[in-house]
Structure 1
Amino acid sequence: MQCPLLRSLRRRPLQGRVHHPPRLRPRRARPHLGTRPHPRRDGPVSAGTTVVVLIAAPAGLRGHLTRWFVEVAAGVYVGNPNPRIRERLWNILAERIHDGQAVMIEPATTEQGWSAPHRRP
């Protein structure tokens, strides 16, 4: 036999609707935040995977890039900086590359979904 107090605290299901306990309610589908739009559609391009390749670059410049990127191979950096950081990094690369070469593959609204600005002496 149950206590009358416990019986009165027990929730009764709503009539005509399916009742789910608070923790077991299905979640509504929400759009995933932080993704970039399809490359052929209009809209701003957010931070996406960026690849930087350096050839014959100064050691200080390579070390500077490791603040925002992971060096996956010698001179190849991969990361997800936002567009403002990506633009500032490209300006630093262009100033400090000297006799080397730099290529940055970044997200863009093109058919391929990326663009590749490059800097040579």
Structure 2
Amino acid sequence: MVLEYVEGRFIKATAGAAITAGQLVELTGDETVSPASAGSTKVLGVAMKDAAAGELVTVITEGVVRVTAAGAITAGTKVQAAAGGQVDAWSAAAAGDSAKIVGLAITSAAAAGDKVKIKLEV
């Protein structure tokens, strides 16, 4: 066995589409990521920098990150992927129990487009 990633906090992957720093990204192929879709169960982490399709991007897989909210989120709320690599409050009813919890909000967001800090849980 050969160690691929030390502690796995950061992983390099190829951008499968244009990615903006701070977007949640999901695995879309072998070591390939794209902005996460709503309710994704394949979230790998958060992009550290902008990347065009085909470029390498570093993905943060653990820690506290700042991401864009898709709607109002209260600190202490579990969050899930929303369209365009954003996050939204997790709801079992809305998610049909299938959406993966990707983190816990440690700050609040009043509306869509606000930045929110989350503790990643991917």
Give TM-score, length-normalised by structure 1: 0.23
Which has the larger share of helix? 1
TM-score of the superposition, structure 2-length normalised? Answer: 0.23
Structure ID, larger Rg: 1
